[in-house]
Amino acid sequence: MGVVVESEAWEPSSSAFVFIFISCFLSLFLYPHFSRNDSSSSSLDHGSSSPSLARFRSKFLFIYSLASVMEGLWSVFGEFELAYYGVSREEMILSLCAGCAGALILGSFIGLLSDLIGHKRLCVFFCVLHLFVGVWKRITIHPSVWVASICLSIATSVYSFSFETWMVLDHEKRGFREDTLNDTFWLMTFFESVSLIGSQVLANYIIGGDLDKSIVSFSTAIKVLAVVAMFVICKGCEENSQDMSFREYRMCFRTYIFGDKRILLLVCAQSCLHFSTAVFWILWAPTLVADGRELNLGLVLPCLLGARILGSTIYPWLVSGPSSFRAEDCVQYAFIVMGLVLFIIAYDYQEIEFLVSLFCLFHACDGLLAPFLARLRTMYVPNQLRGGMISLSLVPANAAVLFVLLQGGYHRNIGNAAILMLAALGLFSAAGCMYLLRRSGKQPHQSWHKL
């Protein structure tokens, strides 16, 4: 008589979610109290004392949250859809390569174009891409995953620079104080992570028993979100297009971006971070189940995003809390910690609890880095060239991801451990860039506006 061994899928303990929630609450609740006692003003006080700034920030965060939900829905629902249509592993990898190639070829020019024609138009274009994919999937019986992958990869590229740059330019045009951007930067990361968790909840709700109805409901949800986002963007939002020709913009970009080693160091650091985070999202699930372990990935993901939320709430403490730190120092240390995390994961097998803890630490540093890097871009990069600078950092990152997908995923010439090691070396290189940037001093980019 055989013995039946029942296996139970591993999932994070409920105490982990409680700990993350309480930590985020205490960080948000206690920060204004300590900041009022130790400094004359805080970033949160600026937002509450200016009704116009509060309205501006609330409207932008609402738009940004809708965009984040759309981005999260595709990432969660995409795997279900590929399995539904019976797409093979090789076809999945090729579709990812097609999307990465599309972002590499077109995304490089979209950032430069957005600085000239205005980022509001690019934000609308982001919604149009999502609306197009939602309609196209609805009217075609067996939609090509290549077309969807290319469109969504371009939309992700637009998402990475247009919303932030549009907000910064509009913030400057309205005459708000520059230091109030600090609060908006970490709130963007906070609401983005919360929206990604919300998109997972919405996707799980949409996926029901009837698979055909789930596909239809998902397309409908995407179309509704895209239309609502376009309506809010177009209604009452100002446009910030450039008053210079392409030739003038090219000369300025060559002088103030390629001609400044400080900005090139920041570009290199951002590119390394883009590559490392992309590698992490590709390999985190295969790493957890590498030895056949069963676990509930649907509960691990909110835990990681919760750690990212917690990391974003630490940012105001470091910037204007009881003791402030230099941005370059914080970014450098965060890069080192993230590199060590990937190095440990790539070096040897780890227990599932320890792996998830390392993943949470990685995402906490990522949540801390996002507002810090946005602040560094404000310090060093002219706002009128901000979109082009961010898209420039995406070029080597997308090229490296495309190489990894082809050699590691399709041809299987590189193992997952070697890919994680490359990502770790990239993060250590980014830390080195921050060290050189700190030694070079602050870039007085305000002089560019006087030309």
> Residue 358 has what pLDDT?
94
Q: Which two tokens stand for residue 441?
A: 């001093």
Q: Where are the beta strands (DSSP E) in 293-429?
A: none
The distance from CA 272 to its chain's CA centroid, rounded to whole angstroms, is 13
Rounded to 10 deg, the angle between the 386-404 and 416-440 helix axes is: 150
Could you give the CA distance from residue 268 to residue 433 in angstroms, rounded to a whole number?
7
Contact, 413 vs 407, CB < 8 A?
A: yes
**What's residue 46's pLDDT?**
41
With 0-12 / 13-18 / 19 or more C-beta atoms within 10 angstroms meaning exposed / middle / buried, residue 351 is exposed
Q: Provide the 10 A C-beta neighbour count for residue 175.
A: 8
Angle between helices 327-347 and 261-288 (to 10 degrees): 30
Q: What are phi and psi of 66, to 5 degrees?
A: -60, -45
Q: Round to whole Å and give the CA distance between 174 and 202.
A: 36
**In whole angstroms, what is the distance from residue 92 CA to residue 68 CA?**
23
Total number of residues shown for the chain = 451
Cβ neighbours, 10 Å, residue 335: 26
Q: Collapse the DSSP code of 448 into the 3-class scheme (helix H, G, I; strand E, B; otherwise coil) and give the result.
A: helix
Q: Residues 276, 278, 279, 283: is their CA dihedral positive or negative?
A: positive
- At residue 451, the pLDDT reads 41
Q: What is the pTM of this model?
A: 0.91
Report how many helices (DSSP H) and strands (DSSP E) the chain contains, helices first: 15, 0
Tokens of 109: 């020019």
CA distance 287 to 280: 10
Nearest-5° Cα angle at 24, 23 to 28: 115
Say if residues 378 and 178 touch (Cβ distance below 8 Å): yes
Domains of the chain: 56-440 (1.20.1250.20)
Residue with tokens 């830390």: 431
3 state SS of 118: coil
From the number of C-beta atoms within 10 Å of its C-beta (0-12, 13-18, 19+), residue 333 rates as middle
Tell which residue, 223, 195, 186, 189, has the closest CA to residue 72: 195
Q: Digits of tens for pLDDT over the chain (451 positions)?
A: 344 444 567 888 889 899 999 999 998 888 877 664 444 344 444 444 578 888 899 999 999 999 999 999 888 777 677 777 777 778 888 888 988 998 888 877 888 888 888 888 999 999 999 999 888 877 775 656 788 888 999 999 999 999 999 999 988 888 888 888 989 999 999 999 999 999 988 888 887 666 667 777 788 889 999 999 999 998 866 665 566 778 888 899 999 999 999 999 999 999 999 999 999 999 998 888 877 778 888 889 999 999 999 999 999 988 875 556 788 999 999 999 999 999 999 887 678 889 999 999 999 999 999 999 999 999 999 988 999 999 999 999 999 999 999 998 888 888 899 999 999 999 999 999 999 998 886 544 444 444 4
**How many CB atoms are closer than 10 A to CB 61?**
19
pLDDT of residue 290: 77
424-437 burial, b if ≥16 CB within 10 A, otherwise e?
A: bebbbbbbbbbbeb
